[in-house]
Amino acid sequence: MTKLNGTLRITPNSGSGTLGPHFEIVFVPYHGRVNAQTVRVTTHDELVKFLVDIRLSEDEASRWAGRARSDVVLIPSIERTESQLKDSGLLA
């Protein structure tokens, strides 16, 4: 199974007429191209749960999610297998 290294980008979005406020999560590889998908979660708690599900510690997930409330956050050095990223919805 191929391991991919990259950055997780979390962007807060205030929403629009059709979408309410949400966070957009994207995996950005360090090299190469992947068929990355954007994952949207609507609440801070859902964001923490998503980060824990992709194997960040609960403390670290809470810290990153807290920072993401007000600004774009880049979580460096994410190393996951291709299947883990597919299971989380970050890869097609």
pTM listed for this prediction: 0.90
Whether 5 has a pLDDT exceeding 90, the answer reads: yes
Pairwise CA distance, residues 72 & 84, whole Å: 23
What does the pLDDT look like over 52-62, one tens digit per residue? Answer: 999 999 999 99
Query: Quick one: pLDDT band at residue 51, thresholds 50, 70, 90?
Result: very high
Pairwise CA distance, residues 28 & 25, whole Å: 10
Reference 80, options 28, 3, 11; nearest CA is 3
Mean of the per-residue pLDDT values for the chain? 93
